[in-house]
Structure formats: structure tokens, C-alpha cells
Amino acid sequence: MSMREFCTSASGLYIALEGIDTSGKSTQIEALRARYPQALITKEPGGSKIGQDIRELILHTPDLDRFCEFFLFLADRAQHYHEVLKPSLDSHKLVISDRSLISGVAYARDIPQAIEYNHTAIRGVKPHLCVLLLLDEANLRARLGQKTHDKIEERGIAYMLEIQERLQRFCALLGVRTLEIDATLPPERITQMIVREVDLLELDSVELG
Ligand code: ADP
């Protein structure tokens, strides 16, 4: 597939890291920050100024209605596009984001038109590449056991595995080029696999001008 076929933005390169909590996104983000010092490293939710407040609200509001939660994520996504994503892509930057609209859709179970709402928030822009870190149940349990559970994790292992399946499904449904990686591989090996793919994409985009 050529760059043009999946490229939705004429400039910059937009890479999203996806995976359920504890799959190793933050670990890889830090490795990629070191490998690509020129990249803009960001996250959803929380990549914009107001997004940081929205993230706190989502994590710490008791009895948050699921529709309210969904629309808070969308508000974060819209501002992130305006403040971070669009300016960076317009100035031809490499953007690496911890989560994206793919999480937005995957976590929005039973919310009608979740895909359309997410597309609207981010004005039709999609990642050029989604790196999807996949965990098996035993390793998920082990990693969760070592971490203080946040609100989403408290919903349980079965829920998280269902979300993981939805992440896979929506990458395909949204037509996003996806690199699925076994999240239990050594971190350095995972970084190598990501770097190889990003370098390929960068090469394609230079060749295609
Ligand atoms: P996330 O950002 O997706 O929630 P983290 O990067 O915080 O995940 O990783 C969750 C936990 O798993 C951390 O304790 C981290 O050190 C560990 N971890 C991350 N990547 C790996 C890996 N490839 N192999 C083993 N443990 C890992």
C-alpha cells in the first residue's frame, strides 16, 4: 500500500500507540522520545492544557455518567487536534501520541455513533500508523497486580480484554495501518519493531514528496 492510500493528512506523520492499561505504552513512548528527539510527544486525554483538567475530571469524578465521560473524552480530543495535532502536522513534524480516537471508539461501548462523534472531534484526521500492544490474560493479571488500579482498571480483567479486542477491531474498521506487537516481548525489541516501521513510513513520505 502506498503512503497516499492511507495518508489523511498531507504533511507530518501521526503515530498512535494503543493498548489497554499496562500494555507498555508509556514505556515505549519514553524510548521513542529518546530515539526521535525532534518528535512531538503527546497523549489523549491530557495533551492540551484544558485536556489535563479533563483527564483529572474523568479519573476522579465519582459516579461519572458514561455519556458524560464519552463527551469529556471528545472535548479533550477536539482541543488536542486544535492545539497540538494540527499545528504539528502542518509544520511537518513527527507526532507520537499515547492513545488516539481508536481508544475513543473502543472504550465507547453501547454509545450510538461513537465513530462519527470521534471523527467529528478530530475533523476526519486518522493516525498514519497505530502501534497496538497486545497482552495475554496471564501477563495482564501479573502487571495489574503490581500497579495501583485506576478507575478504568477496576472494571476488571474481562472488561480490559474485551476492550483490547475492540481496539484490534476498530483499527481495521477505521482503515488505520496497524502494527500489532506482542507486549510481552522485551521492551528494547518492541522499540526496534516500532522504529523500523516509523522509518519505513518516513522514507515513503519523503519519496512521495
Ligand atoms: P501503559 O502506559 O500502557 O499503562 P506502562 O508502560 O506503564 O504501560 O507499563 C506497565 C508496566 O509494565 C510497568 O511496570 C512497566 O515497567 C512494565 N512493562 C512495560 N513494557 C514491558 C515489557 N515489554 N515487558 C515487561 N514489562 C513491561
H-run or E-run covering 97: strand 94-98
Q: Report the DSSP beta bridge partners of residue 14.
A: 95
Given the C-alpha cell 473524552, which residue does it identify? 73
98 pairs with which residues across the strands? 17, 43
pLDDT in tens, 184-200: 999 999 999 999 999 99
- Which DSSP category does 84 fall into? I
146 Cα nearest atom in ligand 1: 14
87 C-alpha to center of ligand 1: Å?
A: 30
Whether residue 1 is predicted with pLDDT greater than 80 in this model: the reply is no
Tell how far the Cα of 136 is from the centroid of ligand 1, in angstroms. 13
**Is the shortest distance between the CB of 86 and ligand 1 below 6 Å?**
no
Closest CA to 20 of 175, 198, 183: 183
Q: Whose CA is nearest to atom 26 of ligand 1?
A: 184
User: pLDDT band at 7, cuts 50/70/90?
Assistant: very low
Among 17, 18, 22, 134, the mutation site with the greatest number of ligand 1 atoms within 8 A of its Cβ is 22
Question: For position 149, what pLDDT does the model report?
Answer: 58
| 3-state DSSP assignment of residue 12 | coil
Its pTM stands at 0.91
Q: Does residue 177's CB lie within 6 angstroms of at least one atom of ligand 1?
A: no
List all residues 6 or more positions away from 198 whose beta carbon is below 8 Å from its beta carbon.
13, 15, 32, 36, 94, 129
pLDDT tens digit sequence for 115-152: 999 999 999 999 999 999 999 999 999 999 876 655 55
pLDDT tens-digit readout, 22-75: 999 999 999 999 999 999 999 999 999 999 999 999 999 999 999 999 999 999
Residues 6+ apart with CB under 8 A from 142: none
Please provide residue 56's backbone torsions phi and psi, each rounded to the nearest 5 degrees: -65, -45
Average pLDDT of the segment spanning 169-195: 97
> Per DSSP, what are the bridge partners of residue 95?
14, 40
Instruction: Confirm or reject CATH 3.40.50.2300 for domain 13-204, answering yes or no.
Output: no
CB 69, CB 104: distance < 8 Å: no
Q: Is 152 in the pocket of ligand 1 (CB under 6 A)?
A: no
Residue at grid coordinates 500494555: 23
Atom of ligand 1 nearest to the CA of 186: 23
Enter the DSSP assignment of 146: T
User: How far, in Å, CA of 167 to CA of 141, rounded?
Assistant: 19
Where do the domains of the chain lie?
Answer: 13-204
Give the C-alpha distances (Å, rounded to integers) separating 72 from 55, 171, 189.
Answer: 8, 22, 35
The number of CA neighbours under 13 Å toward the Cβ of 195 is: 16
22 lines ligand 1 (CB under 6 A): yes
